[in-house]
Structure 1
Amino acid sequence: MGGRSGARRVLGSLVVDRRPLRIPAFRRLWISSVVTAIGSQLTAVAVPKQVFDLTGSSGYVGLTGAVALVPLLVFGLWGGAIADTVDRRRLLLVSNIGIAGTAALLWAQAFLAVDSVWVVLALLGVNQAFFAINMPTRNAVVARLVPEHLLPSAAALTGTMMTFGAVFGPLAAGALLPVVGLSTLYLVDTAALVVVLWAVWRLPALPPTSGLVRRAGLRDVVDGFRYMATQKVLLASFVVDIVAMVAGMPRALFPEMAERTFGDPPGGGLALGWLFAAIPLGAMLIGLMSGWVSRVRRQGAAVVVAICVWGLAVAGFGLANSLWLAVVFLAIGGAADMVSAIYRMAILQSAATDEMRGRTQGAFTVVVAGGPRVADLTHGWAAAGVGTAAAATGGGVLVIVLVVLAVLLLPAFWRYRAPTAEERPAPTA
């Protein structure tokens, strides 16, 4: 019996911590994340596929990235400010209705064969604007629902589902496309979003803790930046994430490396699919084995170490001549990035005041969305000049150098510890 109980304790320390799911409100929010993790990926595949079918141009497909990025940058910041000044449950409802409505319109234009690339791009832009408002609001809600010592576990649960969607959503889309057609992918996403609306409707009211509901403006966005500039721990969390993504994210190199390094045929093949799947696969695996994360108090140090491991993994990927060795390095990088993301999210939710939590989450959304896209540009240019291996390896080494420099300039981040039980305020729903 003692051996069995010991084995259960060991297993419990490895398997993802499910304690946050015992909180009904968080469980509803998490269920909505599970549903959208797959559904949103169907639309993420359907939009570029439809644009390519309509135009036959990869240039227009690339334009979808710019169309999606601009609303994320603008409305991510503004949406975070709104989330600090209104009832967050109501804002989640409005933004989810907007996302569902645009998904339904995407289905309608595909079903009715409107055949206009500009209609698709316009609907994508509106969809991403609502998404940019929704994400910081959703993240800011978590700290009102979950005790502070369970925030890392809550972040791990949510992040695991997001990476699950990133791995299996595109696979499901690829399997469904020849069977049900492109328009049905939009329809499935729309149906999933209706389920999300039900889950959000069941959340408790989440007005500002000050009790003052008002309209957010540009001044609120500026106040958010001023606040973050004075909070060195929060500032450092953004800096190290930007370093990791801009200097270290090598995905722009995947198509060339798949063909010229790992032997894919010109039209694409197995290597390309594995390279794109490896990082989210590693992140998903570490998420499933994240039962230990809530026991780490030195969260700043954990982020720094994880980002250094990410840099080493990317450097190793650049040097790999075997596809499977490259996939292993990328999966290790994805696992490290997941650890970093879990603790960065926990730090943002606990170190920021509730009055500023929406704005810090809005900035987090912008960094997460914008960093990899800037990396696509910098890595593409670097590879054109020095080759893919040097671009990837150099980027990984640069991550480590810049993160160490950032910690030397902002040592409070390295020293940051999660609050003790005595320091934690009870969550207010």
Structure 2
Amino acid sequence: MPLRQHLADTRPLQNPYFRRLWTANIVTVVGAQLTIVAVPSQIYTITGSSAYVGLTGVFGLVPLVVFGLYGGALADALDRRRLLVVTTWGLILTTAAFFVQASLGNRNVWLLLALFSVQQAFFAVNQPTRSAVLPKILDVELLPAANSLSMTLFGAGAVVGPLLGGVLIPIIGLSWLYLVDSLTLFATLWAVTSLPPLPVEGTTGRPGLRSVVDGFSYLGGHPVLRMSFVVDLVAMFFGMPRALFPEVAHVSFGGPPGGGLAYAVLFAAMPVGVVLGGVLSGWVSRVRRQGLAVVVAIVVWGAGVTVLGVAVLLADGPSAPLLTLAAVGLAIGGAADMASSAFRQSMLQASASDAVRGRLQGLFIVVVAGGPRLADVAHGAAAPSLGAGWTITLGGVLTMVGVVLAAALAPAFVRYRA
């Protein structure tokens, strides 16, 4: 088969609206990753505790659940372009507030966590709205390719951002990283402002609790879509050990407490896998048994996390071979996560009606972003007793076992064809 057929399917970029959104993300995702690296680093520097870093799970999860569900209802009731503009402004202002508190030398971890919660509330409304827009501007058969391209770009930004952040934190400080993130969001503001009006097709009613309940009822009648949420929650809850990265970088690999090379490598390795998987994602558009593909991808993800855990167990100070092994495990997991996310998102976008698409995307973001928040809490709480290495290793094993059990209980999901 020619190499060209293995490379990413770029047909969605021929659409001008998708191309603007994708191009704006080239700079926006780098800035966002700087903040993702800076927040746990600032918390760990203030407290010296992974348990406090794990609290970002609680302070991020609550607004993600509340505003993710309500934001999906808003996306099914309001013009989606207008909602994207408003929430993008909210993200710009909250990220600017991160810059202000860091510039003033804030040492109050609770203020930092509260600000993080506000940012996550805007994110929770913005993301389901953005995902619900894609089927309105792209043909259905292009959705797997579009989602792969988006994941690839996110992964590329997540490589550059942590590398820059981990290296620059000790040099220029946290405040400048927050400022860059705030400024890059103006690119997204330009892209969403350029979209056409995007009213919802069909009758959805007023946004509120009843609207959210109707979204759950719709999902209840579609077991394949429901299982797509379950398997991802299994993967994220057991297999996302990012709350332990500051401790692992400092204690296991001998890096400085507030950044350094090991810290940057741990945060960047998984996105490297996402990028490599995305560059070679031409096969994604040709897969029809998408449910089975999701199960296989999550098993590979769990195996990659297990490799990371073994490397941490063996490490006892600076070690290039073991840090490399840890990075390889995370990269394998990243490539598998790219495929899993592209398939699950495409299944949801293609199968749901437009009148309920926003609410299902809201639930999707609750699971996708909320699962890692729960994992932050669980891993942060388990590590003091089990140790970081055993916590990560057991999480990888439980991921593989859990998704296989879930697949056995839902054969319709495994048989699903696009």
TM-score, length basis structure 1: 0.85
Shift of 1:258: 5.0
Does the CA-based 8 Å contact 2:13-2:19 persist in structure 1? yes
* Greater displacement, 9-18 / 264-273: 264-273
How is 1:240-255 mapped onto 2 (pairs within 5 angstroms)? 240-254=231-245
Give 1:155's match in structure 2, choosing from 132, 147, 169: 147
Give the partner amino acid of 2:357. R
How is 1:195-234 mapped onto 2 (pairs within 5 angstroms)? 195-210=187-202, 215-234=206-225
| 1:315 and 2:306 correspond | yes
Q: In structure 1, what is the Cα distance between the partners aligned to 2:105 and 2:256?
A: 31
Shift of 1:383: 5.0
Provide the secondary structure at the position in 2 that maps to 1:292.
helix
Give 1:142's match in structure 2, choosing from 127, 134, 146: 134
Q: In structure 1, what is the Cα distance between the partners aligned to 2:55 and 2:383?
A: 21
Give the partner amino acid of 1:228. L
Give the partner amino acid of 1:245. M
Distance 1:104 1:400, change over 3 A: closer
Q: In structure 2, what is the Cα distance between the partners aligned to 1:46 and 1:401?
A: 33
Distance 1:279 1:225, change over 3 A: same
Distance 1:414 1:385, change over 3 A: same
Give the partner amino acid of 1:232. P
Shift of 1:316: 3.5
What is the aligned partner in structure 1 of residue 354 from structure 2?
354
Distance 1:194 1:391, change over 3 A: closer
Shift of 1:254: 4.4
Does the CA-based 8 Å contact 1:89-1:200 persist in structure 2? yes
Give the partner amino acid of 1:30. W
Does the CA-based 8 Å contact 2:56-2:376 persist in structure 1? no
What is the aligned partner in structure 2 of residue 99 from structure 1?
91
Between the aligned residues of both structures, percent identity stands at 56
Give the partner amino acid of 2:254. D
**Deviation string, structure 1 residues 147-205 (Cα, Å, up to 9, x no partner):** 11111110011111112222211222345556655433333222222222111111111
Does the CA-based 8 Å contact 2:60-2:117 persist in structure 1? yes
Provide the secondary structure at the position in 2 that maps to 1:226.
helix
Q: In structure 2, what is the Cα distance between the partners aligned to 1:57 and 1:392?
A: 20
CA RMSD, 1 decimal? 2.8
Provide the secondary structure at the position in 2 that maps to 1:407.
helix
* 5+ long unaligned stretches in structure 2: 315-321
* 5+ long unaligned stretches in structure 1: 1-8, 419-429
Provide the secondary structure at the position in 1 that maps to 2:2.
helix
Shift of 1:119: 5.2
What is the aligned partner in structure 1 of residue 368 from structure 2?
368
| 1:36 and 2:28 correspond | yes
How is 1:30-429 mapped onto 2 (pairs within 5 angstroms)? 30-49=22-41, 55=46, 58=49, 62-111=54-103, 120-177=112-169, 182-210=174-202, 215-254=206-245, 263-264=253-254, 267=257, 270-320=261-311, 321=314, 322-380=322-380, 388-418=388-418
Does the CA-based 8 Å contact 1:207-1:213 persist in structure 2? no
Shift of 1:329: 2.2
Shift of 1:214: 5.6
Instruction: Please identify the structure whose Cα radius of gyration is greater.
Output: 1
Shift of 1:390: 4.6
Does the CA-based 8 Å contact 1:32-1:200 persist in structure 2? no
Q: In structure 1, what is the Cα distance between the partners aligned to 2:270 and 2:83?
A: 32
Q: In structure 1, what is the Cα distance between the partners aligned to 2:261 and 2:97?
A: 34
Q: In structure 1, what is the Cα distance between the partners aligned to 2:390 and 2:170?
A: 39
Give the partner amino acid of 1:315. T
TM-score, length basis structure 2: 0.87
Q: In structure 1, what is the Cα distance between the partners aligned to 2:217 and 2:274?
A: 33
Q: In structure 1, what is the Cα distance between the partners aligned to 2:308 and 2:167?
A: 29
Q: In structure 1, what is the Cα distance between the partners aligned to 2:56 and 2:381?
A: 20
Q: In structure 1, what is the Cα distance between the partners aligned to 2:369 and 2:211?
A: 21
What is the aligned partner in structure 2 of residue 423 from structure 1?
none
Distance 1:202 1:312, change over 3 A: same
Shift of 1:116: 6.4
* Greater displacement, 175-184 / 280-289: 175-184
Shift of 1:302: 0.7
Distance 1:117 1:382, change over 3 A: closer
Shift of 1:301: 1.0
